[in-house]
Structure 1
Amino acid sequence: MRVAMFGYQTWGHKTLEALIKSSHDVVLVVTHPPSDQPYESIWSDSVEELARDNGIPVYLAQRPDSALIERVRDAGPDIMVANNWRTWLPRELFDLPPHGTLNLHDSLLPKFTGFSPVIWAMISGANEVGLTAHRMDDELDTGDIVSQRSIPIGDQDTGTELVRATIDLIPEVLVESLDLIERGAASWTAQNLDDRTFFHKRSARDSIIDWRWSAAELDRFVRALSDPYPNAVTYYRGQRIRVIKAAVSRYRYGGTPGRVFIAEDDGMVIVAGADAHRGQDRGLVIQRVRLDDGTELPALDFFGRGGGYLTDRP
């Protein structure tokens, strides 16, 4: 089939790479101009460069307009494919090709609609992440599904590892979906939107540790916010620190959430949990921290003999 692709960053790059290797013909690539926003530099493989290197026409746009719609119409695609396109597409555009638009979303829809789905899945306690190929419609990530793949979340997995794993699913899910559509063999399944969960864009506020969470939840939180993502943040005696490595304690600790308590093995125990005063909860053992100047050091070196509290502000 003739394919017009809309995509950006590493997700779009992987999608275009898979299309180039497939039997389908990429007739147009639409991508966003390069951005200097820090969050968009994390997964910054260039869709534009890959398209130009392969002689594919490229159109740069921040959002669709009449000129873009006309460009797509002139390209004459049988289908459009979108992955990590950052702005809303109107029906006039996504319904333009005979087969409409296939969108790839890195979650198991209808769960984790919206933004940063892998990170939010880890933080929320989900037991798996994945990739969904669905037909684009008027709402965000609500269209009928043609293909899905899932990946279990392991006890030691990081957010970065799982993002990479879902990106690696793109060729299989994409090519399978396009081949089914081309053969007229696609089976479209409507989403049960009663099960939909919708997560917002992440900001600096969303990386601050809440010591009322359980140690198990905080352990996942720290692993979800692994490099190169903004790390989990807390404050100690007015100084901001980033928690780079942590684990759930072997023993139970009681007191006030956020108390810098005592050494356990190679880390410093922080009292955690809304019911920590009952003495029934595990603590979070912080093992490594990073300071604002980039210095990274063992938690025991930073905290010394302990004492004081970790807080959500200076």
Structure 2
Amino acid sequence: MARDLNTDPRLVCVGANLESKVILEGLIDIKANIVSLVTVPVEKSNNISDYVDLHPICSEADINIIDTIDINDHITIQQIRLLKPDYIFTLGWSQLFGEQILAIPEKYVVGSHPSLLPEGRGRAPIPWTILQGLKQSGVTLFRMDNKIDTGPVLVQNMFDIPDAAYAMDVYFLATQNLRSAFCELYVKLKSGQAVEVLQDTTKASYRAKRVPSDGHIDFNHSATDIEKLVRAVSKPFPGAYVYHKGNNIYIWKASLRNIPPYIGTIGQILTKNKDSLLVQAKDKPIWLSHFTDDAGPVDINYFRIGSRFNYVVDDELYKLWQEIEALKRGK
């Protein structure tokens, strides 16, 4: 009943991942009037790499839960509409919002993006930030419209990116800045001081979707590019990988420090220490470590010095030709 008497702006929050948890906790701390959280049920969360179960937090804070796997589902839309929100805060949700969702709140839907819009519109912002070698990035809250990352800016926070940062390092920086930004925006909305700034479309840039296969390591690339790839797609993302002994081997750490004077063929394991392999890239060797396969961690002793990662295409085609010829002769 007390919640119904609250005259502060009514929020419906949408999220199901780690950044959603951190932001939600921040909004709870400043006593935001959260009338419901839309989230993904645990049993439907397998495809969300950074999923966090937010049900316990909402239970403790007495926040209503709407479970869904489709924000545009008509039942979900109906449930949100009945709550009569002033704003919908998108804390962490990858699905695009349809026109019906955008039309629900009395005011508008707030979108979030971990880049300094209009730069970096689109997909996979954290991996692309590392792959592009950026030294600074930021987060943007904006008034969501029916396009992607194009609405007027409400809040922007900038942060520096440490040298040799991994995806999770940038993820945490973005998450903490998003928490601050959402709390700042809510205070401004309460006091009527929120300001909208149109994005300068002449400065817009766009990032394409990335898929797990983009994490394949091609040792014909430079050691610097390989090191950036390993960092960019490390946890909470699917990881960089190679082929070895018929298996996918995932590599979670890479280093260009203290490279000894070895040279070998592309993709060859040159030497190893207690936890790392020195592997030849196009221009110079690189240290790789923290290996897993689909079953779990892979011991360093699984790898033999002198062996090579990935396949030599011509050799594999020749083997295939031999097998086909053998089958023909067996007829």
> Compared with structure 1, are the counterparts of its residues 6 and 189 closer, same or farther at alpha carbon in structure 2 (3 Å cutoff)?
same
In the alignment, which of 163, 180, 192 is matched to residue 184 of structure 1? 192
Q: Which runs of 5+ in 1 are unaligned?
A: 274-280
**Counterpart pick for 2:166 among 131, 144, 158:** 158
In structure 2, the partner of 1:276 is none
| TM-score, normalisation: structure 2 | 0.78
| 8 Å CA contact 1:235, 1:312 repeated in 2 | no
SS in 2 for 1:191: coil
Q: 1:46 to 1:239 in 2, by over 3 A?
A: closer
Secondary structure of 1:169 counterpart: helix
- Structure 2 counterpart of 1:128: 136
Contact 2:275/2:290 (<8 A) preserved: no
Alignment of 1:48 with 2:55, yes or no, is: yes
Structure with greater Cα Rg:
2
Letter in structure 1 aligned against 2:59: R
Over 3 Å counting, the alpha-carbon distance change for 1:38 and 1:210 in structure 2 is farther
Please show how residues 99-114 of structure 1 align to structure 2 within 5 Å.
Answer: 99-114=107-122
By how many angstroms is 1:173 displaced?
A: 0.5
Letter matched to residue 289 of structure 1 = F
SS of structure 1 residue aligned to 2:285 = strand
* Distance apart, 1:53 and its partner CA: 2.7
Question: Equivalent of 2:21, from 13, 17, 23?
Answer: 13
Counterpart of 2:329?
A: none
Q: Provide Cα deviations, 1:154-196, integer angstroms capped at 9, x if missing partner.
A: 2232112221222222321101112223333323222234522
% identical aligned pairs: 23
Aligned length: 303
TM-score by length of 1: 0.82
1:59 matched residue in structure 2:
66
CA shift digits 1:59-108 (9 cap, x unpaired): 22223244444433332222211122343323343243332111122233
Question: Are 2:288 and 1:286 aligned?
Answer: yes
C-alpha displacement of 1:138? 0.5
1:237–1:308 Cα contact (<8 Å) kept: no
CA–CA distance in 2 between the matches of 1:121 and 1:139? 22
Deviation string 1:201-223 (CA, Å, 9 cap, x unpaired) is 532x1221122322112112112
Q: Does 1:235 align with 2:243?
A: yes
Corresponding letter in the other structure for 1:247: S
Q: 1:238: how far off? A: 3.6
Q: Tell whether the 8 Å contact from 1:144 to 1:188 is kept in structure 2 after alignment.
A: yes
> Structure 2: how far apart are the matches of 1:312 and 1:138?
47
**Counterpart amino acid of residue 209 in structure 2:** H
In the aligned structure 1, how far is the partner of 2:297 from the partner of 2:31?
Answer: 49
- Which shows bigger deviation, 289-298 or 156-165? 289-298
Residues 267-282 of structure 1 aligned to structure 2 (within 5 Å): 267-273=276-282, 281-282=283-284
**Structure 1 Cα separation of the partners of residues 52 and 12 of structure 2:** 19
Q: Extract unaligned runs of 5+ from structure 2.
A: 1-8, 317-331
Q: Secondary structure at the match of 2:299?
A: strand
Residue 55 to residue 291, structure 1, CA distance change in 2 (3 Å): closer
Letter matched to residue 285 of structure 1? W
Shift of 1:148: 1.8
Q: Structure 1 residues 312, 47: closer, same or farther in 2, change over 3 A?
A: farther
